[in-house]
Structure 1
Amino acid sequence: MSRRLLLKVAGSAGFTAIGQANAHPFRRTDDANPATDPESPSKTAAIEWLTGALWRQTGLSTEFPGQVVFPKYSHIALKAIQAIDSRIALEDGPARAAARLQDQSSGGFFRQHGDFLGPWTTATYHALALARQSAVSVDETAAVEFLLDHQTDAGGFAPRSGFAGGSIVSTLEATHKSIVALTEQDAVSQSVREQVLTFLNDTQHSTGGWPSVRRQDAPTVEGTYHAVITLSVLGELTPATTRAVTRFLRTVQRPAGGFRNTLESVDCSSLICRFDPAATTRSTAQALVTLSWLDRLSRFSEDVHADWLADRQLQNPTDERLYGGFETAPDRSPAVTNYLPNTAFAAIALDAVGALGRIDRSATEQFLTACQHPGTKGFGPWPSSLSSLVDTEAAIRALDLLDERGRVPRDALVATLANGQRDDGALTHPDRSAESTVEQTALAVLALDRLDRLDAVDHAAAATFIIDHQHERGGFTNTAGTDTTTGSPSPQTTWLAVRALAAAEKLSRIDLAGVGTYLADQQADRGHVSESSPDTMSAVCETRYALETLAHIDRFDDIDRKQAIAYLRSRQQEDEYTNRAEARHVVAGLAVAGAVDSIDHQSTRRLLGARQTTAGGFADREFYTGETAMQRHAGTIEALTLLDGFTEPS
């Protein structure tokens, strides 16, 4: 049997169980025919769910196909793309994605699936705008009621409701976007109008600008930008206001180009009122759009500011994913930042001042397009937003088990992971700036090995990094660095480390006996190999991890395997499991120990298949369970594969 086939079963546990040389431990031997089971899960739907979570440009995966949906980013990205090339036809995908975020109870829209803070007035404005420019239908009446409910006593609009049910403080952005949305719905009454004008009058500073939030805060370009648009929509933009705003913008312009957001630092406990006085792409773009709106560009050094903004385009980024996007400010490019809003605002502003020819328009469009998630068609703040290595490894593992490795954009993934290799040999996610870890490195190694592309990185250096983290107790620590006498090893980190070293063919460089001793020391009277209580999900998972680890290093005899099998077997009682979520781990653990026939296959398949959602995934959104949805999905596919639980052709 080929190594590839062996690696595809039981979480990369590529071996034949000890004492089972003449029988494949993962073959179903019962007479049940899953083809006759009406609840047989859909293999095709499971594959589509997986591929919908993959970013084509990077090869990375998100936890859910529907995870990255931001109406704001979708709306401004499409506006920017249209500004770059008006011949591009707008698509309905982003609007459909946003429409799914409407809250049925309030009528407002969430910013993304699972947003526990929302719904938001700002997201509602962007979702309504997306719907209006497409054939997508949303409940506009309910959305209008939601917006009106968020006008505060001060006259402005709050971004969302407070946790206690009341509205939080008004902001200029929420007021601007609520008024625009209500105006387009012909829902601005005289009372609403007067209250908003009172709010704008009360919050304007003597300098001529507006703060982003409260009257006592320093005026900002952002707050002024939102106020000017609100006044314009209401038909209340007077010559006096125009002169006052012009005076304020003169105070924040930089002679060398660019506009600061504010003259002084603004800081508070909330991100919505924390600003830095440095010139940024966003503040410069908003200042230019405001001046264009006021027809006052001639009073400023328009070319200098446009050139400053154009210079923020990333032409030679260290991360190729960001090529064509716009950085926040000179020499300020953190690993994770909102490149899409920067880029979209910059394109819109340069279009407003007739200076789009100063940038690489094609690269800008390509960057914005790369921020569109293939599953939802919504836009994220940067390419591969909210993706992770744990989800990526799980997705590739599941596709490999389903003979669908060809769906993975492997060249993109290889480039992404190779760019994430550090000087210490560790492999990391490109958007994570934390210290190097064994788990992240191991996940990257396992993903590349699944694709037969391990040689694309310095896997010897990656293996050395992992090896250096073997603890004196025999297990592996995640971040202990060179001091392996401190910190605590864990079964999960050890499981990942050993599997990765096996893939890199470096197992001979570690203390194999030490690994066995570490795991044996954790076996308890009930047979579980874990320091956790035997009645917990953790004990089941760690027992599975221990069995797979020992099989990789050929040291099953270091523990009482019969007891471990008996423990896992005991989790199924009368065709049910103590915890439905642990069934996949029980199957994988028993399979690797050559005892998968000790459980009832048909009832287990039925239980696993019943978890498939209408979208095709085997994991719905849940509270934190210790595993991501993609891991749960991949684990179920793994278990069903071991039980021959899929019957339809892919």
Structure 2
Amino acid sequence: MASPEPTPTTTFLRDLHIRFIENLDKQKDSLEYWMSEHLRLNGVYWGLTALALMGRSEVLDREDVIKYVLSCYHDVGGFGGHPGHDPHLLYTLSGIQILATYDALDRIDRAQVAKFVSSLQKKDSGAFAGDEWGEVDTRFSYCAVACLSLLGALDQIDLDRAVAFVAQCRNFDGAYGSEPGAESHAGQVFCCVGMLAIANRLDLIDQDMLGTWLADRQLKNGGLNGRPQKLEDDPETGGIADRAGDVPDVFHTLFGITGLSLLNYENLDPVDPVYCMPLSVTRRLGVARPPLSP
């Protein structure tokens, strides 16, 4: 017999979301747990940030989390996705975000992390590779600039050249791709706009064109897709799965909750949309941007 369709709800099930995140590390007998090992550090960041926005960061043991984050650290200054995995900018940013949230950046060699991040900038283009193998992507530009900003070390890179690379990734529709000429995607838009915001270069964005492109992502059911002709996806809306009826995961749980936070829904703590961290944390670090004028 087929499983019944889930009943739609317009109620924010806070306690269930908290329990869902709390139980994620108790599923070590599942295939999915081990198949996602390479994303474990990202998963801790997603879960911790979601809990913090719900006012329940204490659900995770602070010292246990910090100990795990430090176990992912490499002497070169980068973090891997799990102990024994190679360092990469995607995981390094998550590691720094977690430590910053816990006010524990003093537990690492900040100068060494900044050195690792800055070493990945391409001297010719200003782009960033994610790791030693050299793949370039605007996601990595965002990770590098956000990480260095949180560390107070933006002076370690050629920021003007990094900005120029991202500007080259803007398409005819006003949105951004992973590299010059690549398809526009909402995920890349987040990274590029976030990077430009940190660099104080939002003047390079065509706000009307980009605003129209983003507004066009909304479908008739209220959801938003990441690019034209695709189904809705939760990182651009809310909930704990990518769309109704799908299996929930911690990534979509975080971005559903951050979307609701931006909409001032259900007394969630404010999120800083540039860093995707609690606004209280970025204010403490002195990196929060003032609100934009309407």
Would the TM-score normalized by the shorter structure come out above 0.5?
yes
How many Å separate the matches in 2 of 1:87 and 1:57?
Answer: 18
Superposition deviation, residue 55 in structure 1? 7.9
Structure 2 residue runs without a partner (length 5+):
1-22, 269-294
Q: Secondary structure at the match of 1:252?
A: coil
From 29, 33, 47, the equivalent of 1:60 is 29
Q: Which has the higher contact order (CA 8 A, sep 6+)?
A: 1
State which of 152, 169, 178 in structure 2 corresponds to 1:186. Answer: 152
Change (3 A) 1:154 1:278: farther
Q: Deviations over 1:263-285 (max 9, x none)?
A: 25xxxxxxxxxxxx221112x14
Is the counterpart of residue 155 in structure 1 residue 118 in structure 2?
no
Indicate the residue corresponding to 1:247 in structure 2. Answer: 212
Partner of 1:230: 195
1:434-477 CA distances to partner (integer Å, 9 max, x unpaired)? xxxxxxxxxxxxxxxxxxxxxxxxxxxxxxxxxxxxxxxxxxxx
AA of the residue aligned to 2:120: H
CA distance in structure 2 between the partners assigned to 1:124 and 1:340 by the alignment = 19
| Contact 2:115/2:156, CA 8 A, preserved across alignment | no
1:340 corresponds to which of 230, 250, 253:
250
Contact 2:88 2:130 in 1 (8 A): yes
Moved over 4 A (4+): 54-59, 61-64, 86-90
Output the CA distance in 2 between the equivalents of 1:210 and 1:59. 38
Give the CA deviation at 1:171. 1.5
Pick the aligned partner of 2:98 from 130, 138, 148: 130
What amino acid maps onto 2:84 in structure 1? Answer: G
Aligned-partner SS, 1:238: helix
Judge conservation of contact 1:95–1:127 (CA < 8 Å) in 2. no
Is 2:125–2:161's contact at 8 Å kept on the other side of the alignment? yes
Q: Is 1:107 matched up with 2:77?
A: yes
CA contact (8 A) 1:55 1:61 kept: no
The answer as to 2:44 corresponding to 1:74 is yes
Report the counterpart of residue 328 of structure 1 in structure 2.
Answer: 242
Q: Secondary structure at the match of 1:174?
A: helix
Q: Where in structure 2 are the equivalents of 1:406-445 lying within 5 Å?
A: none
The alignment covers a number of residue pairs equal to 239
Structure 2 length-normalised TM: 0.71
Aligned-pair identity in percent equals 14
- 1:597-644: CA deviation from partner (whole Å, max 9, x where unpaired): xxxxxxxxxxxxxxxxxxxxxxxxxxxxxxxxxxxxxxxxxxxxxxxx
Query: Which structure is larger by alpha-carbon Rg, 1 or 2?
Result: 1
Q: TM-score, normalised by structure 1?
A: 0.34
d(CA) in 2 for partners of 1:102 and 1:190? Answer: 20
Q: Determine if contact 1:69/1:98 at 8 Å carries over to the other structure.
A: no
Contact 1:69 1:97 in 2 (8 A): no
Render the CA deviation track for 1:283-331: whole Å, top value 9, x for unaligned: x14xxxxxxxxxxxxxxxxxxxxxxx34xxxxxxxxxxxxxxx222234
In the aligned structure 1, how far is the partner of 2:25 from the partner of 2:69? 21
Q: Tell whether the 8 Å contact from 2:193 to 2:202 is kept in structure 1 after alignment.
A: yes
1:213-612 mapped onto 2 (5 Å cutoff): 213-238=178-203, 241-263=206-228, 277-282=230-235, 284-285=236-237, 309-310=238-239, 326-333=240-247, 339-356=249-266
Tell me the residue number matched to 2:64: 93
Counterpart Cα distance in 2 of 1:60 and 1:223? 34
What is the CA-CA distance between 1:69 and the residue it aligns to?
Answer: 7.3
Cα contact 2:174–2:205 (8 A) shared by 1 = no
Q: Which residue of 2 aligns with 1:121?
A: 89
Q: Which secondary structure state, in structure 2, belongs to the residue aligned with residue 261 of structure 1?
A: coil
Letter in 2 for 1:328: D
Equivalent residue in structure 2 for 1:205, among 171, 177, 200: 171
Instruction: For residue 216 of structure 2, give the secondary structure of its aligned residue in structure 1.
Output: helix
